[in-house]
Amino acid sequence: MTDIDLAELRQLAIAQLAQSYSPYSNFPVGAAGIADDGRTVVGTNVENASYGLTLCAECSMVSDLVRTGGGRLLAVSTVQGDETPVAPCGRCRQLLFEHGGGGLIVDWDPEPLLLDALIPEAFGPSNLA
């Protein structure tokens, strides 16, 4: 689908599992993305005693994207504790759409997916233009 090294991206996501703050669910999640300038960004889930305030791994990865200069996401990998891809939750699909659009490559097995398949007919920035 692309010459982006998704296996390498997945390894970056796996490395983030060790940083997870998930004492309530014991479900660590790691995320990694590649931006259109070639830099990589990472994130992990950060839970809260007020459960609904939990930040997903994709959320902290998007914060890392913006914090380190912005740009568009080209590909992302999100993994759970057994180091296999985990499907982004609904809110995170919307977050990823904002920063990568429907063409964003999502690491998946056996083949990568496009975000369009995970959030078809998405509401996004163009709706507000």
CA angle 73–64–33, rounded 5-degree value:
35
Residues 53-92: x/- map of binding to ligand THU (CB under 6 A)?
A: -x-xxx-----------------------------xx--x
Read off the DSSP letter of residue 55. B
Q: Which is nearer to ligand THU, 6 or 57 (CB)?
A: 57
8 annotated active-site: no
On the 0-12 / 13-18 / 19+ scale of CB atoms within 10 A, 56 is buried
Q: Is 27 in the site for ligand THU (CB under 6 A)?
A: yes
The site for ligand THU (CB under 6 A) is made up of: 22, 25, 27, 29, 45, 47, 54, 56-58, 88-89, 92
